[in-house]
Structure 1
């Protein structure tokens, strides 16, 4: 068999991404702080770009009036003037505009969501978001959380805080009492004594003898055991047991978390109940840079550089880049609203009834529903947050794997299953502590087909002790 060389012509189609297309894609995944920094750099190097004043109105507005009516790319859209930074309405079923229940610029209060990923502040903020506070109490909780130290202690002056918020000191104390029940045990204490008392109270071990021991920590530091036995009214054996319990407590409960200064998370999307029913979705105006193109300056400079082709070419490039940036920002805003609206449509039951009703959801489902690529949804949901009546959540929170139903019905989301496991364990009694196998059986009785090893994995991820440890702790408490 002979081999020979030959020349062949073939046609091949391929997509080459332009630098501007690559930059537009990158804009999708930027968090709002990074986006503002990018826009500021563009303004500095482009003489035609100016920052428009923010009038406080939402950039995009979507009203969801039915659970089975999709928001798709074919919906009507009203385009505002190019570069005017004016609001646009996209994919609406009914236009709500600015109702009296949601006047312009009066978005939900965000002060309480002070957090940084993987820190104590993040852990606390999530618990605040899931606690049934009134709006006033939520504001107070946010202020106390802002004063929380990395060690877990809070140094706020309750009287001064009450006066600054124009509320009674008793209300601040009540909110602090609720915060002191948060995890980790001992958080929001104002002193070492209070920190230990909180932990002992949660273990049901703050009896009079133990309270006397905690009240005389200086004697314990001096190892003045005779005086401590007198104050506590116990013998030496009991005192040693009490000291052993004290040593098992955590004097700095916040230290188990990564330290770091707190920063405020500003949700990109607001979800609020609509007066007409369903949900109203808005982009937070504070997260949206608004730009203007100075057409007068362009015309004036063009007249002066008419004879200089190099200068005119530079000016034309600036105009082209400015128009591209404004179009890209508009498209970014529209895409975020489309994705958020579809998430809300899919997770309507969660917003109504809580985490137990969170549905399984993947990127492809949302992408297919709104007519974009799966990677676009992935970029949009990165580093973006949604403020809902149930708290602030990263958009990626709503995407969870499916756990099969053993009764042939709808699948369950992994997050909902974790919530169910936590609820089952919380309802245990000293005589009925369940093993992971027992929990798996309980879940199957309610239609959730989950293996024992999956229960173990979810339990450990939630930092819940094993059944042996829980049984031992309950014996000590009861």
Structure 2
């Protein structure tokens, strides 16, 4: 076997391995985790788009009328006296008691604050900063505003902010997305890297996908900027995504089992939490026509492969869940 054939075979094996890992990650993800994975993919892959469902069927399915008619959660089984039946109450209690509320971002950070070395007003400033974070881990008020309103010294607030920005998950305590990415790069020891300078100095060019202009501004080669961009894409735009925004998570079913008119049990996918993904036509045309920039062409091809891989993994997940649910229903009918 020639060296070229061997290298080609190894490349195909690596791609297949990465595709399998993506498929397994998608298959094992809960509905909440899946929404976060898709959101991150939409924010980091310019070729992916979320297509709104504007079909007449979707519009007809929009909630209308009385709230009690819309929010039927399956526990409206009442006796003639207006109380839940014993069976319905037992099933409801079992379901609610089985749900373990996941840890929130603020409680995770508060636990770190308690074990920090800060004391006195500095610790109070840290707790105040944590309380001012949104679900993504970004500050809803500036430290300067909090400092003035709550009468903290600049020293106490500065020390507290530095500790917060060094906490887990990386990227919390930022003012915005750009600031969060810079924090993550600094925590990785990449403050002097091209990726750090790309985010710090070329944020507008980065957001507009003007990578050639960014290369000129940074006095770097296009392939260097492409490599730095891959580092940026490995960061998370949503540091708090792994933590629950509230204490009582809403359960989203993957499938619904209903009895048909003929008395048979039918299994259907809900897909309530899955957006309809497609590829951006403008970028597809650029890739088809062939850009004069080799690095840009390679970047678009990789983004296309990643997008296709994600959509295939989502389709495979839904197909697997449907087959599994049907098998369970046949077994336990």
- Point out the structure with max Rg over C-alpha: 1
- Which structure shows the higher helix fraction? 2
Please indicate the TM-score interval, normalised by the length of the shorter structure: 0.3 to 0.5
Q: TM-score, normalised by structure 1?
A: 0.29
Q: TM-score, normalised by structure 2?
A: 0.42
